[in-house]
């Protein structure tokens, strides 16, 4: 599996858990979800898109600057 897909899967799981924690906390968000469902859907999707862009920009920046190559060349200390 390509690293980008791993990042996307991790990011989707993270935001799913993030919104579940907010929804099930005692913050009154569940009432907001019930009254303004379209706004809630837009907020969730836009937050996920923002998170994806943030992670992807960091990944591309690390790739262009050569940091990823340096990280990949580091030997695994567990292997002899």
On whether the CB atoms of residues 51 and 43 are closer than 8 A, the answer is no
pTM: 0.47
pLDDT tens sequence across 13-24: 888 888 777 777
On whether the CB atoms of residues 7 and 58 are closer than 8 A, the answer is no
Please give the average pLDDT of every successive group of 10 residues along the chain, which has 80 residues.
75 81 69 75 85 86 87 82
Provide the residue ranges of all domains of the chain, joining segments of one domain with +: 3-66
The residue among 57, 37, 48, 42 whose CA lies nearest residue 14 is: 48
Look over the chain and give the mean of its residue pLDDT values, rounded to a whole number: 80
Backbone angles phi, psi at 49, to 5 degrees: -65, -40
**69 alpha carbon, distance to own chain's centre:** 23
């Amino acid at each position: 599996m390509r690293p980008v897909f791993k990042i996307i899967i991790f990011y989707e799981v993270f935001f799913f858990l993030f919104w579940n924690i907010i929804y099930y906390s005692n913050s009154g968000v569940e009432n907001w979800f019930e009254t303004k469902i379209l706004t809630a859907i837009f907020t969730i999707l836009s937050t996920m898109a923002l998170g994806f862009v943030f992670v992807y920009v960091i990944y591309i920046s690390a790739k262009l600057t050569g940091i990823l190559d340096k990280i990949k060349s580091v030997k695994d200390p567990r292997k002899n």
